Amino acid sequence: MDDHDHSKLLFLLCIFALYILHKILNYRKLVGGRAGNHVTLFHPYGMPSYLLPQIRWVVEAANRRFPFKHQRYDRYGWDILSNYCVLSSSFIIAIADPNAIKDVLTSHSRFPRYVEQYKPLSFFGPSVLSTEGDEWKKYKKVVKPALSDKNSRMGWSETVRVMNDLFEEEWGGKDVVKVESCLELTLSMALYVLSAAVFGQKLSWKEDERPQGNKITFKRALFDVSSNLVLKMALPNWAGKMSKRVKEIQDSFNSLDEYMLEMVQTRDKTDETDLFSSLLKENATGNEETALNVREIIGNVFVLLIAGHETAAHTICFTLMLLALHPEEQDNLYREVKALLPDGREPTYEEMPLFTRAMAAYYETLRMFPPVTWIPKVCAEDTVLSAPSVDGTRMESVPVPRGTHVIVDVVGLHYNPRHWEDPTEFRPSRFIREWPKDAFIPFSAGSHACIGRKFFEVEAIAILVMLIRKYEIEIPTKSGETYEEKKARVLATTTAITLTPGDIPVVFRKRLDL
């Protein structure tokens, strides 16, 4: 190696040394000495966390975060963790303390939503989910009134109709019904309810719809779009030329877009109470300067559909599986339903508040399996958060520089043992008595709390009551499988857009006292 090569090598080593020094100084400035500080090579909430396995100091795998529950905070001794990402020189704070979380979620000016995380969902147009500031306020002003009590009432009646159609058309009144996938069942339930309540399109459990022109059916388009969001976000448009299945999914997105455009043109003067029609009416009565254009209307309706479909279907699936694993809780719920509906009649919308055990089972499921496991925020100004130790005996002030990514850890909060006794146990009764409301945020909180919460609850409670009053829910045990092994298998999850249950077979047995 000649002198010239030595000089080049020395120069490269100096550059590398300066790079390392820069990273060390950045680390000391941002993280050094703070509560629960640790380092990873990749951003813990970036794409590598979904693609790579768990590697200490390198990346925290997304699918490992849910199983960790509150354990990461226990390991470091604090309910606020500081994470320095080496490659991006970024600083991330994760929080599992209700007071600090309340501070973040209610201080909108200091901690605005990190909208870049939601931009990929703007397939059909911008929405209340993918925007911030004045644009978000404009969308919320139109969308929130459209989600009225009238729309919730319609959601209840449509859910009852969909469930009766399931019992009569799909199951044919059988005494024993074996379902290969509980998740596929609840995805269909939620889709049929939302199709009627959002679009005014009543779908049947039997495939009886005919294609319109060259388009695929509305039912097929809706199901394909709802089931393939992650694939659509991950693949570029030209991928449709490489794969027949990808092309079919793209065709479904295009067909749904055409259906929604047609609805905008034909629903502006109707008296329908579905969400689409209500939103169009609300938009028409507003100020012309702030009125939504066609793309904005479709974008917002689509987001409400997708948010309502996947979150409702997954939560209902987890609820049914938890009740199957805990027959004593299922019996408690059935006794309540039987007492309120002794003559076997259908439940009414006005009676929804009376089904306290159904709501408790639903809330306990949301605590244990929140659809959205973390809420991304960004710090807009230099500020400070208070960090409690996991035992609550110490507090430390944590400086949060402008530009810091702040993660509200919903799972860490929901499994925090300082606020929930035996947090890994399924105990719906904890929601019948007084419970720590600030430590329960499956719908977020503050100005960005889920505006579809009421409809979400209406649908879930109606499905649960309709099912429990007619059928017992069981999950077959595999040969030689212990209860704990069965429980681990049944409650295994994956993380995509929302927390997702596995494909677990379920058996429904008609109750003998009907």
> Which string of DSSP letters, residue by residue, matches 163-213?
HHHIIIIISTT-SEEEES-HHHHHHHHHHHHHHHHHH-----SS------T
Residue 85, annotated as binding a ligand: no
| The residue type at 150 | K
Instruction: Tell me how far apart the alpha carbons of residues 57 and 47 are, in angstroms, rounded to a whole number.
Output: 16
Q: Residue 334: helix, strand or coil by DSSP?
A: helix
Long-range CB contacts (< 8 A, 24+ apart) of 108-111? Answer: 108/446, 108/447, 108/448, 109/380, 109/381, 110/379, 110/380, 110/381, 110/383, 111/377, 111/378, 111/379, 111/380, 111/406
**DSSP3 helix / strand / coil % (the chain, rounded to 5):** 55, 10, 35
Phi and psi at residue 328, to the nearest 5°: -65, -35
Q: Which residues of 30-44 are buried (b: 16+ CB within 10 A; e: fewer)?
A: bbeebbbbbebebbb
Q: Cite the annotated binding site for heme by residue number.
A: 450
Q: Cite the annotated binding site by residue number.
A: 450
